[in-house]
Structure 1
């Protein structure tokens, strides 16, 4: 039976700009076991619901500069840590992670909180999971802001940058999470910020989810994730609520992906899409104010 690893609270003490209350939701991870999903839930409960989904290998700390201003503007801001990341429980066996499992855990979380009329911000794997949910359950979502992400169906050739990252995650002996984040941002993170990204991963056993994620991206049409994503795209092709792309100019992994969303999703028509200058792959670290303004505009809370 796979070990379920819990976070060490001492490693998360005094993180810069992350003084949010801890909240927890149990999810069924199979085999009669439950794992705790940690999340931030700030702002008034009756405000517009904004769901912020992180990717690989980050956690809700990535959204710290967005959570406070969005909540201060009257929105309910929910930012979970995916299972295997952040303060959420971690499964020690890489084989316990799959695309379908992550999607199921996230769906359990959203259903348990009763979230509806959601404004979604998604980046990296936050999009692979969040956009799949939009396609499968479009009635839950009021609008989408997508940045530096994609929803692959296994067609075409993966970029060299992605294949290099996939190999690195699988085989590099160190796999220092904080330094990985730093290499994919434009601004220089402080040592304390780098340490905050390392906090969830005290040893190799806690990194199973982070190492597994890149290999779960469908790169062939036969991959189970690709089959499910084809179904999700059927829904996205009918999604008429606002769908805004705000990709950044310094991300080699997802560069150009915004064009596909703009072409295929009806709700993207007429939106003020832009390529945001000065942002790396982990764009929430570089240009959070751009995303805050966009989210507030779409939520009807803009200035």
Structure 2
């Protein structure tokens, strides 16, 4: 296996991404190491908010939300998960696992922002972030979740099964086009190219192809026991917890209600299904999402 490094030349023409690079060394396991790239915008002593992306995006997804959040008084921290964005990429899909992603993300957090933080999470950012909330609720001041869930087995939907098989076996796995198809608004050619930038060839897409295979939506899959244990802490989480889901997302659009019903801190919050909003809600409704984070943090007394 090789650990691939991102070519800076691929990111030279990225639009609307004027953010400085930051890096953390990560122990990947099995004797391998790599670097995780992240954004760190806003005053170092401001209340931190973690912005966790999912599949198959990267921190570019948060370019529209970060300026608003910084202006409101946050320190915004948006990592590129290992295998994504500017972060290093193991080129063997079998090397990736749910637990390894949790471990890599926890290593990053311990190094960068070990104290309490607000959380915004979407897609796999929620499968990782919500599990972390359940395992260490005292480290999260408040949570806003969008188009995500914390699965514990069951029967996957036909739409998800189609997506999982496509990610695994499709000969053409064009990341930018996937983002385009899963938003309710139109991406420019430059934005599509920006989402393609981290994935110039097939080996660089190993992590993106692996993620859908790791979602524990069927009984017996790895991660179910860990998520069930995390749900005990997540259900008891009593700080403000808000859901803002895109109503045009065919896979996760209907998964807000289980979070609302089960999580204590979600009670009496202004949960909203956002119209004209697809899976990648940060592209379609960045203003509403940023305001939701601001309002939730204020309700928590964190901002």
More displaced stretch, 68-77 vs 133-142: 68-77
- Given that 1:153 and 1:218 are in contact with CA atoms closer than 8 Å, whether structure 2 keeps it comes out as yes
CA-CA distance at 1:114 after TM superposition: 3.1
1:93-130 Cα shifts (integer Å, max 9, x gaps): 01110001001100111111133221111110000000
Distance 2:196 2:270 in 1: 36
C-alpha distance in structure 1 between counterparts of 2:162 and 2:85, whole Å: 24
- Check whether the contact 1:249–1:255 (CA below 8 A) recurs between aligned residues: yes
Figure out how many residues of one structure are paired with residues of the other and give that number: 301
The answer to whether the 8 Å contact 2:93/2:209 transfers is yes
Distance in 1 separating the partners of 2:225 and 2:141: 25
The more displaced of 249-258 and 79-88 is 249-258
1:286 equivalent in structure 2: 284
Matched, 1:89 2:100: no
| SS of aligned partner of 2:24 | strand
TM-score for the superposition, normalised by structure 2: 0.97
Q: Which deviates further from its counterpart, 37-46 or 107-116?
A: 107-116
Q: Is the 8 A contact 2:144 2:296 kept in 1?
A: no
Kindly state the Cα deviation for residue 302 of structure 1 after the two structures are TM-superposed. 11
CA deviations on 1:245-298 (whole Å, 9 max, x unpaired) are 011110010122111011100000111101111110001000000011111112
Match of 2:189 among 171, 188, 191: 191
Partner residue of 2:44? 45
What corresponds to 1:223 in structure 2?
221
Gaps of at least 5 residues in structure 2 are none
Aligned counterpart, 1:176: 174
Runs of 4+ aligned structure 1 residues displaced above 4 Å come to: none
Gaps in structure 1 of 5+ consecutive residues: none
Match among 201, 204, 213 for residue 211 of structure 2: 213
Counterpart CA distance in 1 for 2:173 and 2:204 is: 12
Residues 253 and 279, structure 2, Cα contact 8 Å, conserved in 1: no
Task: Answer yes or no: is the 8 Å Cα contact 2:241–2:296 preserved in 1.
Answer: no
C-alpha root-mean-square deviation of aligned residues, in Å?
Answer: 1.4
What corresponds to 1:60 in structure 2? 59
Residue in 2 aligned with 1:138? 137
Maintained 8 Å contact 1:221/1:227: no
CA shift at 1:71, angstroms?
1.1
TM value normalised by structure 1: 0.97
